[in-house]
Amino acid sequence: MDRVRNPYSPGAGTRPPALVGRDREIEEMDVALQRLLLGRDGRTLMLTGLRGVGKTVLLNEFEQLAEARGYFHEHIEVSEDGELPSKLVSALRRVLLAMDAKRRIGDRVRRALGVLKAFSLRLPDGPEIGLDIEAVLGPADSGDLSMDIAGLLVEVGEVASDHGFGVLITIDELHYVALATLEALVMGLHRASQLRLPITVAGAGLPTLATLSGEAKSYAERMFNYPVIGSLTGDQAREALEVPALDEGVTWTPQAVDRIVEVSMGYPYFLQEFGKQAWDVAEEPEITLDDVERCMPLALAQLDDGFFRVRVGRTNDAERAYLRAMAELSPGPIRSSEVAKLLEKPLTALGPTRDRLLKKSLCFTPRWGEIDFTVPLFDQFLRRWLPDLPHLD
């Protein structure tokens, strides 16, 4: 069929699979945003789940909600170095400039930019605020990260409140952030909440995020909800495949849909990839089981090269052997002691390898002594990629 019309292609304009069945999370976020504008408490969301389940897509949806409610929005993606403060300063700077452009706020924005500059000057690689902006000392330059981030959020929140705006910062890959920095962010948001300021954060991260936030400050549990974003139910997965096609006048046979739901295990990213490839293979306005079977090698190759392999490209031989042993023992969670037994190595000898995989976010620890993959179906890829279990010297 016409590849131009493919409704499963990224950016096709149709509702992506990641949003199917997420009405509750979207409604919760919308209510929180409205409450904050009214000067009331609003529990925003910290999305947790494996990679490829649609957390980032949901954050994008929250951005649309915020803008429709009169919020200014900026997005931050945390990298493996865990750096957040300088990125937060840059995001808040863009928010202030956008508010000034809309309302010509002038001196009040310059003061807030001066507060950001004073904070930034204390950072090793702080972003440039502007040579013509004088640093405003006092609110956010004490050197205490928790107090200073609170000062930043309060300063920007007051500007927004005075002019009828809200501010939403979405932060992806929050699990990379160091515990002390996450604690400072939570405390800063708590202070802004106490003052009933319309500034907040919605975030996303791996399944460990809820635990990290709880360790950062116990009241984080009162400020955020932590929905687990996972695979879709069978009915939801079928809807994610069938509805976009119907909008283009195309149908699926029940057998074709069931096959994709089976191999994808309902994970949104994989549903979208298999749907895209099946559409391109099909020649008639009905996608059949034969179309799905013919597209399967191409879809798997696309996932292997574009989704899985990039995640193992930065691993060494020992780390790959550890991952392959986990795949042999999957589905998880897997006892670390069982991995050591399979590799015929003492548990303590494998500790550094395990720690590196955790830091690279290829794995996470569901409970003490256990380990699991952060990527759905990663075990199947590893068995395809490394058919035999490697041996460590």
Provide φ and ψ at 75, rounded to 5°: -115, 140
Task: Dig out the tokens for 113 from the structure.
Answer: 């930019």
- Tell me: domain 3-11+232-311, CATH 1.10.40.60, correct? no
Note if the bond before 7 is cis, omega within 30 degrees. Answer: no
* Residue 224: its H or E element: strand 224-225
- For residue 266, give the amino acid letter: G
pLDDT for position 384: 92
For residues 354 and 172, what is the distance between their CA atoms, to the nearest angstrom? Answer: 24
State the distance between the two ends of the chain, measured CA to CA, in whole angstroms: 52
For 22-225, the fitting CATH number among 3.60.21.10, 3.40.50.300, 3.90.1150.10, 3.40.190.10 is 3.40.50.300
234-247 and 268-281 helices, crossing angle to 10°: 40
pLDDT for the residue numbered 128: 65
Q: What is the mean pLDDT of each run of 10 residues along the chain (393 residues)?
A: 76 78 94 94 91 92 95 94 92 93 83 92 71 83 92 95 94 92 90 94 90 68 86 93 91 96 92 93 91 94 90 90 94 92 92 93 90 92 90 73
Number of other CB atoms surrounding residue 195 within 10 Å: 14
pLDDT number for residue 15 = 79
Please count the residues of the chain. 393
Architecture of domain 313-385: Orthogonal Bundle (1.10)
Domain ranges for the chain: 3-11+232-311, 22-225, 313-385
Task: Provide the 8-state DSSP code for 3.
Answer: G
List, for residues 336-389, the tens digit of each pLDDT value: 999 999 999 999 999 999 999 998 889 999 888 999 999 889 999 999 999 988
Residue 274 pLDDT: 94
Give pTM, 2 decimals: 0.89
